[in-house]
Amino acid sequence: MALGTPDPLERARRQLREDAEQPQWLDLSDAIMARVRGISWPAARILTVDAEGEDLRDEHGSRTYVSGRVVRDALRRALTTATVEPRGIELDVEDDLLVHLDLELVATYAQDLQQVGVWARVEAVRVLAQHLGERPGFDPDTDLTVTITDLHEHEAS
């Protein structure tokens, strides 16, 4: 097998020169990942309320808002169990107020799906109250939709 140049020093120098002309993939990868991690996905801000249902304000009169991402993540954690998990969580926010919550759930077979829906509604109301307060204008019976969109077999762990 011919190597072209028998001198190992010359071969090493040529290889280093070729490597120097190529992008530094690790540096490039780190730079790309830093930019991706820095991307801020848009999220609605949601106004919080106090125990009386009034805008929650600090001592300076500033209102308190919670990001829709925070609310969505809290709902996802609360609604994920061994037999149920959210497929979709849609927050409908108008004028900084949550006006509708749409939950799409996946459940396992052999469950009472009506009970799953009741449980999910109670959990969602609890999470919303914990993060946003209990807004008088939000009616869980009409402003919160729970839909079981798919069923699957329970996988024993």
Phi-psi region of 95 (alpha: psi -120 to 50; beta: other; left: phi over 0): left
- Interval 47-98: pLDDT, tens: 998 877 788 777 888 888 999 999 999 999 999 999 999 999 999 999 999 9
Residue 1's pLDDT band (boundaries 50, 70, 90)?
A: very low
The sign one gets for the Cα dihedral 111, 117, 122, 124 is positive
pTM for the whole structure: 0.70
The better pLDDT of the pair 94, 151 is held by: 94
* Mean per-residue pLDDT, 20-39: 65
| Distance of alpha carbon 75 from alpha carbon 91, whole angstroms | 11
Q: What angle do CA 138, 141, 147 make, to 5 degrees?
A: 115
> Using only C-alpha atoms, what is the Rg of the chain?
27
